[in-house]
Amino acid sequence: MNMRKVVLLLILAVSVTAVSCKRSSSKNTSRATGWQINSKEGGFQYNDRFKEQETAPGLVFVEGGTFTMGKVQDDVMHDWNNTPNQQHVQSFYMDESEVTNFMYTEYLYWLKSTYPPSEENFKAIYNGALPDTLVWRNRLGYNEVMTNNYLRHPAYAEYPVVGVSWIQAVEFANWRSDRYNELNLEKAGYLTRDAKLSATADANFNTDTYINAPTLTYGGNDSIIKPEKSRRRVQTTASGDTINVFANRETGLISPKYRLPTEAEWEYAALGMSEIRSYNTHRGRKKYPWNGQYTRTGKRQIRGDQMANFKQGKGDYGGIAGWSDDGADITKQVMSFAPNDYGLYDMAGNVAEWVADVYRPIVDDEFNDFNYYRGNVYTKNAINDDGTVKIVTTDEIVFDTLSNGKVVARNLPGEILQVGVDENETYLRTNFDRSDNRNFRDGDKRSSRQYADSFDEEDGEVENEQLTRKMYNSPKHSIERDSSGAIIRDYDKSNKRTSLINDEVRVYKGGSWKDREYWLDPAQRRYFPQDMATDYIGFRCAMSRVGSKSKQKNKTKN
């Protein structure tokens, strides 16, 4: 080999090395400032290797898109509450099945272990989370077997939980969020191994508390939140400061929360429109979560079998024994029927399901057609005088007495106390101007017949409930407790009430085992008080998608 070739090879090697060094260094260099990211000496730390949101337990991915909400095949009730309107839903995740008795009893076990009901201060926490098993009773029916066994017996373990109010469903979702994030941080080494098993009433994990004040998690127990044998990359800077001790949102380890799906999300997911998509258009329409216009399958091997369990006629909850019936008379084990195109089971039949929205007869698509949701009540963290967030202690639990007399906990020890947003957040904003937006453009001064009178108001802010009642004259029951704790009930007996709609009624979707066929249409909508429960309403959880709309790599569209 002559000298010229040797020089050329050396130049090539140096060039490749320089390019590779440049690439590797540029990955950790800020395009904004040129500073090093994730430097061992300190500075800005960020997870630059994050790929995609991990699918949380029990969920399936639902790619968002545009659809016509409220397009029903039949309007047998003639209530005109689902006028078709076009909406766009962002991608999200949803439980593949309804929350089961097994899943809910795990929640009850955690509550009972962490907040022992034997202690007077915690008794209402556990009792307030218990499903109402008396919903199975009927004056002219013998249903005691379900009353006594449906929630707890292993035979019903994989059946959807019922007797759960909207409030209880929301609290379950909050609990589930904390347990999932707790597990993630434990796996990543930010919490000691089996930290989840050491929770007590005054020392447990809450996601918001960990994000805002990690040193107060688990009551500030350093042996849990700063494990000695850590598997995370804790670094010490030249000045002696430690970094990466606690996880934050930049790590990508803290997942969005489980929650109830919005009405638009639920309806979109239930329809599973992707199976009738042709390029950028939906060809045809769907009446059910499955394709076709009938409740029975046309597949050769199981032709004639029902695609969901529902009330097929007067006195017919399951058909004739052994002949193409739905195999159930009440609810049925989840995933017993085929899923829809998104992989979601029981989006028709089994139980109807709570969604997040406050009910109104209209969907105001004129104001918003993106991620539609009615029910926003914006809050913020309460702050102590010293500037720290206010953590709820065991002596500061807030209990509410619901309209049916049941007592529930509105917050739990270890959580950050929430207060409504005020002028500090709303001043001169154009996108929101109040904390409670449940009756926005429907029940407030601007949309009521008393709008002209509002110009003369000098009494300051009017209660949100009073504004709603100008549109919906619903009964106003009163329930209080005297000094001895006895319940004083004042039932509204007025014959001038014209509606059952108020700010405490929520939408539920889908047909149940107790409903006739036309309620299986995902576009049908009904409402029920948020603090009451039935034997035919359950729920499933959802989770927002962060990042890309699709899981597939970009492809050329025709």
* pLDDT > 80? residue 448: no
The DSSP result for 81-129, as a single string, is ----EEEEE--EEEESSPPBHHHHHHHHHHHHHHS-TTSTTTHHHHHHH
**Residue 365, domain member (yes or no):** yes
**Residue 310, domain member (yes or no):** yes
Predicted model pTM: 0.90
- Within 10 A of 171 (CB to CB), how many other CB atoms are there? 21
* pLDDT > 70? residue 13: no
- Sign for the pseudo-dihedral over CA of 492, 496, 498, 501: negative
Strands (E) located in 316-461: 352-358, 379-381, 399-401, 407-409, 418-420
Q: Kind of pairing, strands 59-62 and 92-95? A: antiparallel
* pLDDT > 50? residue 25: no
Are 172 and 189 contacting, i.e. CB atoms less than 8 angstroms apart? no
Q: Nearest Cα to 206, choosing from 214, 198, 542?
A: 214
Least confident residue range of 71-75, 325-329, 507-511: 71-75
Average pLDDT over residues 473-492: 83
Band of pLDDT at residue 455, cut at 50, 70 and 90: very low
- Sign for the pseudo-dihedral over CA of 200, 206, 211, 212: negative
Band of pLDDT at residue 325, cut at 50, 70 and 90: confident
Average pLDDT over residues 427-437: 93
- Report helix, strand or coil for 203: strand
Band of pLDDT at residue 91, cut at 50, 70 and 90: very high
Range of the domain at 347: 59-193+249-378+507-544
**Residue 222, domain member (yes or no):** no
**Distant-in-sequence, close-in-space partners of 240: CB < 8 Å, separation ≥ 6:** none
**Residue 147, domain member (yes or no):** yes
**Residue 17, domain member (yes or no):** no
Give the Å distances, CA to CA, from 146 to 130, 139, 140, 150, 223: 15, 15, 15, 5, 45
Q: To which residue do tokens 């008396």 refer?
A: 134
- Sign for the pseudo-dihedral over CA of 430, 433, 435, 436: negative
CATH number at residue 116: 3.90.1580.10
**Residue 316, domain member (yes or no):** yes
**Residue 538, domain member (yes or no):** yes
Query: DSSP character for 500?
Result: -
The average confidence (pLDDT) of the chain is: 87
* pLDDT > 70? residue 456: no
Average pLDDT over residues 434-443: 89
**Distant-in-sequence, close-in-space partners of 547: CB < 8 Å, separation ≥ 6:** 52, 53
* pLDDT > 50? residue 24: no
For the chain, the residue count is 558
Band of pLDDT at residue 133, cut at 50, 70 and 90: very high
Question: Amino acid identity, residue 324?
Answer: S
Total structural domains within the chain: 1
Tokens of 477: 């029951």
Q: Nearest Cα to 317, choosing from 515, 506, 488?
A: 515
Give the span between the Cα atoms of 57 and 293, in whole angstroms.
33
Band of pLDDT at residue 322, cut at 50, 70 and 90: confident
Question: Amino acid identity, residue 280?
Answer: N
Average pLDDT over residues 67-72: 89
Q: Kind of pairing, strands 352-358 and 537-538? A: parallel
Are 105 and 111 contacting, i.e. CB atoms less than 8 angstroms apart? no
Average pLDDT over residues 34-45: 84
